[in-house]
Structure 1
Amino acid sequence: MTEGTLGRIVSGPPDRGGHIAFARLTRTERLPLTELYRRSGLVARLLLDHGVRPGDRIGILAANGPEWVLLDLAALRIGAETAGFEPGKFTPGGLVARYGLRLLFTDRPEAAGVPGAVSTDEVAAAADGPGDGGPLPPVTWGPESVTTVKFTSGSTGEPKGLGATAGSVDSSLRAVQQIFHHGPGDDLFVFLPLSLLQQRYWVYSALLHGHDVTVSTYEAAFAALRRVRPTVVMGVPAFFETAKRQMENRLRRSGATGGQELRDAGRAVFGDRIRYLWTGSAPASPGVLRFLTEAGLPIYEGYGLNETCIVTKNHPGAHREGSVGQVLPGKEVLIGPDGVVSVRSDHPVNDHYAYAAPGDSEKMFRPGGVVRTGDLGRVDEDGFLWIQGRADDVIVLDNGKKVVVRPVEEALRADPAVAECVVFCPGQTELVAVVSPAAVPADRTAISAHLERTNARLAADERISRAVVADEPFSIGNGLLTSQYKPRRARILDAYRAAVHDPSEGIHAR
């Protein structure tokens, strides 16, 4: 696949300029992409010296940083697969055997003594050497070659592994480039874990199209944004909700109400060069999208799964508020008689899970490159996709009425006092929301008032009878959010089951 994304990357150093930056809390390291490529050759030689060969798999369990990017590029350059493991979700013990790794590269101190584990310090030392590592064996990445194993965020059980094909990577990058035209002058800011394959797309894009890319972490993101001044920020909805709160706090302190002051608050958070913001992976609040756009920060929502890559995307040439955009080239959206969205890809990510329980692959993957998403949706007359919720999250009341909970949850979440909420239906008789407060202590008065306003706008069967306020906000750390900041419904119900089922608990609707 010499003409494809990966084939072009491994065929020689980038020739269009561009830099990569690694932004931490207080400092930023910036390298020309040609220097990144040179160092990746040294790391590729390190892999070969460790016995890694084409088709072998290496694991990477580390925080975002130069070593992560160098290992990924080095593996591409010698035809090896990567498996990215997110710190906090995986621990070093047992990974080598379970996932068939030749080696596990990690920055985790607890990996000392784990068979097959190699410290990323060794990668950093190799990358500091002279030269470029010398000629490497020729590599061919065919469309169906697996380049990396990625893992689903999964709300329950062990994450499922999925081998992503080179063709799916190439197809997604080409489609995105056609609508956003990233190039010199752009700086794409990414901070979610590099174990998520889409985050690495933007490094590949920089190598191909000559723009800059900045790699940071969630913890350092807001501090780094003001220093780096990117043109594009890729983030999950929870990140942009935090940004909105920061901007509102600035306006509140200054006594301003909007207009130029709102745009100034946006520049204070994101810098003064934003071309657009990108969000996906979970439903975004319409209020957040509107707020940021009014601040001169156009934000575009999209849709995709690990199993499909990017499927739809709003963009400057085609944007409809509330939708997740039009279908990208190489993808086809199919709506079943039950309203469930399926996606057909010219270049599927894969047709099965690499690691999953028996029957899991059959539930998701269908013949002909089709994936059944489990999401409810519709496509309008102009080809925009609207996601209405999860098929599994349709509640059937004892009177037979079906309630799609996502619009109800979105309505209750549209208040500064509520960070997140999940609706349950104990006994099929009432709707009960478990609310993650935006602050501690929770503003129960504001939550109660918003509950009343929300119920007034909902149909009778959709009204929430009680709101159970969580003891602490949902987070990745307490296991109630996935790595992409989606609520883990089953775990939330387990944590608050007693309160959900006790009619005396929570804030009661009047």
Structure 2
Amino acid sequence: MTQDTLGRIVATEPGDGHIRVASLLGTQTLTLRELYRRSGRVARWLTGQGVRPGDRIGILAANSLEWVLLDLAALRLKAETAGFEPGKFAPTGDLIRRYGIRLLFTDRPAEAPGAVPIGEVTEVSQRADLDGVPLRPVTWGPKDVTTVKFTSGSTGEPKGLGATAGSIDSSLRAVQQIFEHGPGDDLFVFLPLSLLQQRYWIYSALLHGHDVTVSTYEAAFAALRRVRPTVVMGVPAFYETAKRQIEARMRRAGDGQTVGQAARAVFGDRIRYLWTGSAPAASSMLRFFTEAGLPIYEGYGLNETCIVTKNHPKAHRDGSVGQVLPGKEVLIGEDGVVSVRSEHPVNDHYAYCRPGDSERVFGPDGTVRTGDLGYLDEDGFLFIRGRADDVIVLDNGKKVIVRPIEEDMKADPAIAECVLFCPGQTELVAVVSPAAEPADEKAIAARLALTNAVRAADERIGRAIVADPPFSIDNGLLTSQYKPKRGRILDVYHDAVHDPEEGIHAV
């Protein structure tokens, strides 16, 4: 039984600590004890609506207190949740039927039978008349599925994956062992709660008595200044944006402000460390924050594996994504592809996918083939070189790993993202997303020349196409975790990539 985590969460009233939920309108604060009491009321109300152990509720909404209450209520009933990302899914009858949803809570207009406005949860959570009936005790076993999570997906329909209680327990214990979160900490999360890992930090608060702040991405920077967290959980694109804000503050202040002072003006004055993962982080960005006095630690994991490796204060190495966590084993194949074996796997198959998808990723024993190229050094630090799918083979047989070249381009402040293609297998063409509008084409041309200057002939970029508008989630060129969608980008810029006259040409 997973009594160390989910068992304690569902059965034990938490100790000290608070949850703050931030929006552009302000910040709402509850004690963790009040959060627990309210989640119990929601659980009793769900029971009255016919929700039973093993049933599934869906949540299609932006981050909110109601999201958190529904998730905790489901845990206390041993019901599954399915977190749907707004913008990627619509609250329709087809969605409810496809995923076997008993009730779908949403902040979007919906008329489908079974769709419930998520705002109703606020009133339910405050109903004292729901306090009287005790909840039936539940037990989460290691292989019990708590939630269905969906891959961010660069192409096609997202794959659904049932996450087991044992995998959550294992990850939370491993992270707590190295970071020792506790009273005095406030963990700040802003990515969608439909991404299971974001909910880990709420579970951690309930277990270890620290504060947690939940925000939306839109409100994140305003909320940071208000709540002054000690830990921020963010993807590299968020920190790149923060880096530009800090640099802009310094330019406005002239010589009157150090980088550390400017960084604290953005993040507050209590930062213990910054956490990043989900996508490759530029070494220049990591170095910037560490030198500013805000140490930042990169890690590695997938939906299919949970957290696998992590740099942390007691063990970190530049260029790596950290050492392997307890309960995980990293295997490097003859082709250099990373596979991961877990003591408590997330699962051994997808719950929703196309035929053959599960077999391509999961081995018979649950080992996950990540598709990433990497190696382990002599001290067990994992280094990721790129995606196996992103190796370009030129017409002369030369294999080019694109990630290091793309990272060289992204090191320039004028460039937010860079994706390489190879039309006709003869020359590399970059599609560059500018960091600001209008694009600084002079700076992009200079970075193109600088990148090419240190590369062998086959690894030099012939042209750079400047994306207009820049890549974003809204225009479908970035995933919800701010990773470029290579296939979609090529679709949009196909003609320019294949036209030898287009773009900024290398000199």
TM-score normalised over the length of structure 2? 0.99
SS in 2 for 1:329: coil
2:327 alignment counterpart: 330
C-alpha distance in 2 between matches for 1:426 and 1:312: 35
SS in 2 for 1:164: strand
Judge conservation of contact 2:2–2:165 (CA < 8 Å) in 1.
no
C-alpha distance in 2 between matches for 1:282 and 1:489: 14
1:6 alignment counterpart: 6
SS in 1 for 2:121: helix
RMSD: 0.9
Give identity over the alignment, percent: 78
1:369 deviation in Å?
A: 2.6
Equivalent AA in structure 2 for residue 105 of structure 1: F
Structure 1 residue 101 corresponds to structure 2 residue 116: no
Greater shift, 114-123 or 341-350, is seen at 114-123
Residues 1:398 and 1:224: Cα distance change in structure 2 (over 3 Å) = same
Judge conservation of contact 2:2–2:169 (CA < 8 Å) in 1.
no
1:439 deviation in Å?
A: 1.1
1:491 deviation in Å?
A: 0.1
SS in 1 for 2:119: helix
1:198 alignment counterpart: 197
C-alpha distance in 2 between matches for 1:339 and 1:75: 41
Judge conservation of contact 2:2–2:166 (CA < 8 Å) in 1.
no
1:393 deviation in Å?
A: 0.4
The 5 Å alignment of 1:7-46 reads 7-14=7-14, 16-46=15-45
Structure 1 residue 412 corresponds to structure 2 residue 420: no
C-alpha distance in 2 between matches for 1:397 and 1:176: 42
Equivalent AA in structure 2 for residue 106 of structure 1: T
Unaligned runs of 5+ in 1: none
SS in 2 for 1:255: helix
SS in 2 for 1:82: strand
Deviations 1:178-207 (A, max 9, x none): 000000000000000000000000000000
Greater shift, 158-167 or 452-461, is seen at 452-461
Out of 123, 126, 143, which is 1:125 matched to? 123
1:50 deviation in Å?
A: 0.7
1:133 deviation in Å?
A: 5.3
SS in 2 for 1:366: coil
Deviations 1:116-164 (A, max 9, x none): 1011122111011116352011111000000000000010000000000
2:261 alignment counterpart: 264
Out of 289, 292, 295, which is 1:292 matched to? 289
Judge conservation of contact 1:376–1:391 (CA < 8 Å) in 2.
yes
1:276 alignment counterpart: 273
Q: Which runs of 4+ in 1 moved over 2 A?
A: 131-134
1:80 deviation in Å?
A: 0.1
Unaligned runs of 5+ in 2: none
Equivalent AA in structure 1 for residue 103 of structure 2: L
C-alpha distance in 2 between matches for 1:188 and 1:62: 21
1:254 deviation in Å?
A: 1.3
1:2 deviation in Å?
A: 5.5
C-alpha distance in 2 between matches for 1:242 and 1:317: 28
1:389 alignment counterpart: 386
Residues 1:2 and 1:434: Cα distance change in structure 2 (over 3 Å) = closer
1:368 deviation in Å?
A: 2.1
The 5 Å alignment of 1:81-160 reads 81-93=80-92, 94-109=94-109, 111=110, 113-130=111-128, 132=131, 134-160=133-159
C-alpha distance in 2 between matches for 1:172 and 1:118: 32
The 5 Å alignment of 1:355-434 reads 355-434=352-431
C-alpha distance in 2 between matches for 1:8 and 1:207: 9
SS in 1 for 2:181: coil
Judge conservation of contact 1:44–1:133 (CA < 8 Å) in 2.
no
Equivalent AA in structure 2 for residue 316 of structure 1: P
